[in-house]
Amino acid sequence: MTDLDTRRKIDALLQTFYQQARTDELLGPVFLGALGHGDWSGHLGTVTDFWCTVLLGESSYPGGFMWKHMRLPIAAAHVDRWTEMFSSLIRETHMGPVTEEALRRVEIMGEVLRAKIKPRGERGPIIQ
């Protein structure tokens, strides 16, 4: 196993993750609702830019990560599933310092996302 330290490896990891997320019974409907059944390459490009900015010091991602999720019909259970699936995949396929940083970032972003969606919890998720 090698470290998660190039754009090519991050891109390949995300391709695999999205194949899993697309067919997941909890996450799949949210992704399909937001992105449709067609080509997700534009979205994958954005998410690759995001992780390359976080992990490799690029400035390819323009920002707006939290705002995008505030508009989605997601609850804490979605965040739990997302972070579990993504962390497991990272651990099964990579190792090294950048991999450790990726796992740490997933945890932090999961915490922030859970805290942001909590206030609307009692009313259920916002559906546009």
Residues that bind ligand HEM (CB under 6 A): 27, 30-31, 34-35, 43, 46-47, 50, 64-65, 68-69, 72, 74, 78-79, 82-83, 106, 109-110, 113
Nearer to ligand HEM, 10 or 113 (CB): 113
The least distance separating ligand HEM from the CB of residue 97, rounded to whole angstroms, comes to 19
18 dihedral zone (left: phi>0; alpha: psi -120 to 50; beta): alpha
The least distance separating ligand HEM from the CB of residue 94, rounded to whole angstroms, comes to 16
The least distance separating ligand HEM from the CB of residue 79, rounded to whole angstroms, comes to 5
The distance of Cα 40 from the centroid of its chain, to the nearest Å, equals: 14
Contact 106, 90 (CB under 8 A): yes
Nearer to ligand HEM, 42 or 123 (CB): 42
Distance CA 52, CA 73 (A): 26
Compute the half-sphere exposure of residue 102: CA atoms within 13 Å on the CB side of its CA.
29
Nearer to ligand HEM, 45 or 96 (CB): 45
Nearer to ligand HEM, 5 or 116 (CB): 116
Contact 66, 112 (CB under 8 A): yes
Distance CA 87, CA 94 (A): 10
The least distance separating ligand HEM from the CB of residue 109, rounded to whole angstroms, comes to 4
